[in-house]
Amino acid sequence: MIAGVSTTYTIAVIGGTGPQGKGLGYRFAKHGHDVVVGSRAADRAVPVADEIRERLAGVAGAGEVSGAANADACEQADVVLLAVPWDGHDELVGALPLAGKTVVSCVNPLAFDKRGAHGQVIDGGEGSAAERAQALAPEATVVGAFHNVSAVLLWGEEEYVDEDVLCVGDSDDAKLVAMDLARAVTGREGVSAGKLRLARQLEPFTAVLISINRKYKTHSGLRITGLPDRD
Amino acid sequence: MIAGVSTTYTIAVIGGTGPQGKGLGYRFAKHGHDVVVGSRAADRAVPVADEIRERLAGVAGAGEVSGAANADACEQADVVLLAVPWDGHDELVGALPLAGKTVVSCVNPLAFDKRGAHGQVIDGGEGSAAERAQALAPEATVVGAFHNVSAVLLWGEEEYVDEDVLCVGDSDDAKLVAMDLARAVTGREGVSAGKLRLARQLEPFTAVLISINRKYKTHSGLRITGLPDRD
Q: List the single best residue of A158, A219, A224, A229 to mutate versus B (max B Cβ within 10 A).
A: A224
B 90-129 near A (Cβ less than 8 A)? 115-119, 121-122, 124-126
Q: List the single best residue of B122, B179, B205, B214 to mutate versus A (max A Cβ within 10 A).
A: B205
pLDDT at position B7 is: 84
Interface check B86 vs A, CB under 8 A: no
Interface check A211 vs B, CB under 8 A: yes
Q: Are B130 and B142 in contact (CB under 8 A)?
A: yes
Q: Is the pLDDT of residue B231 over 70?
A: no
CB-side exposure of A164: number of CA atoms within 13 Å? 26
Choose the closest CB to A125 out of B124, B191, B194: B124
d(CA A107, CA A104): 9
pLDDT digits (tens, 9 = 90+) for B114-167: 999 999 999 999 999 999 999 999 999 999 999 999 999 999 999 999 999 999
pLDDT at position B1 is: 42
Q: Are B143 and B129 in contact (CB under 8 A)?
A: no
Choose the closest CB to B211 out of A115, A122, A198: A198
Mean pLDDT score across all residues of chain B: 95
pLDDT at position B43 is: 97
- Strand-pair partners of B220: none
pLDDT means over runs of 10, chain A (231 residues): 67 97 98 97 97 96 98 97 97 98 98 94 96 98 97 95 97 98 97 98 97 97 92 65
pLDDT at position A7 is: 84
Choose the closest CB to A224 out of B116, B168, B222: B222
List strand residue ranges (DSSP E) for A46-201, in order: 65-69, 79-82, 102-105, 110-113, 116-119, 141-144, 166-169, 191-192
Interface check B41 vs A, CB under 8 A: no
pLDDT at position B186 is: 97
**Neighbour-count burial of A230, counting CB atoms closer than 10 A to its CB (0-12 exposed, 13-18 middle, 19+ buried):** middle
Q: Is the pLDDT of residue B5 over 50?
A: no
Interface check B198 vs A, CB under 8 A: yes
Axis crossing angle, helix B199-216 with helix B129-136, rounded to the nearest 10? 140
Q: Which residues of chain A lie closer than 8 angstroms to B223, CB-CB? A: 222-225
Interface check A187 vs B, CB under 8 A: no
pLDDT at position B97 is: 98
Angle at A30 between CA A26 and CA A33, to 5 degrees: 90
Q: Which residues 6+ apart lie within 8 Å of B141 measured at CB?
A: B101, B102, B103, B169, B171, B173, B174
Choose the closest CB to A162 out of B153, B197, B225: B225
Do B166 and A208 make contact, defined as CB atoms within 8 angstroms? yes
